[in-house]
Amino acid sequence: MTPATSTIYADSISLTDSFERYLQDKGKGRGGDGGNYRRNTARELERFGQWATGDRGRSEWTGIIPEDVDRDPTFQDLDERVFRAYARYLDNSEKMIRKRYSHIEADELGELATEAINEIDCI
């Protein structure tokens, strides 16, 4: 395969189809389907693939491909704009919101505990 041919081939492969090959390379054991890194990466790549195709996120989110185009996203569709949008999506996900809330809650509880200890010290 020449570099031009491999680029054309790579541009035509959907993101989700390329994930499995990557995961096999990173996995452990026969067939490359074992290991924690592989499992964790597979989960995150699946989330990204769902988001990129419009199957995850706000109801008005249609994915990184315009609605009138009938194909799955490819690496050619990825650019800085896509990664910024995904970072915003992750930052506003329920998991991140819960994490922020737990930090705020922990901070408030810490302040209450400090005040209680200070009151005990004064007695």
**pLDDT means over runs of 10, the chain (123 residues):** 50 80 80 80 90 81 86 87 85 69 67 71 65
Contact residues for 29 (Cβ-Cβ < 8 A; gap 6+): 35
pLDDT at 1: 46
Contact between 71 and 65 under an 8 Å Cβ cutoff? The reply is yes
pTM of the complete model? 0.62
Cα–Cα dist 111/101, whole Å = 15
* Cβ proximity of 53 and 72 under 8 Å: yes
Q: Tokens 């194909």 sit at which residue?
A: 71
Q: Is residue 44 within 8 Å of residue 103, measured between CB atoms?
A: no
Extended strands (E) in 1-123: none
